[in-house]
Amino acid sequence: MFKFLPLFVLAVLAVAQALPVSEKEEVVPILNSEVSKSEDGSYRSSYESGDGTKREEEAHLVNAGTDDEALEVKGSYRYLNEFGETVEVFYTAGVNGFVPYGSIINPDITAVAEAAKDLPNAVDSELESKVKYSQ
């Protein structure tokens, strides 16, 4: 048994040498983080990290107590892309959809999303037509 021990040790060392060595991942510190929530569901949150990443978002309740009650959200986020450039995106979101705009968002996409949010909701249109036909 002891004759094979040096061979075993060499085999273990060879395998250990062949394994890939992973680089240590950089730990990015959180510089600021805040969250506040209200009982009605509205909220405000933000954070910022040491690598320049930042996000802010707030939501407010609209049409409280009605069938159309919903949260309207407004926010932004920022980060550095693979070229070291700062990318910043702003957005709104609510019952009429998500509308992004910013340095990397094609202006045509923003324009279409902005126009679409004013279109009647397909579900509302279907309900209106059913009510008209049932009368």
Residues 73 and 60: their CA atoms lie apart, in Å, by 7
pLDDT digits (tens, 9 = 90+) for 81-105: 888 888 999 999 988 788 888 877 7
pLDDT digits (tens, 9 = 90+) for 30-83: 999 999 999 999 999 999 999 999 999 999 999 999 999 999 999 999 999 888
pLDDT digits (tens, 9 = 90+) for 6-23: 555 555 556 656 666 667
Going 68 to 70 to 74 to 75, the CA torsion angle's sign is negative
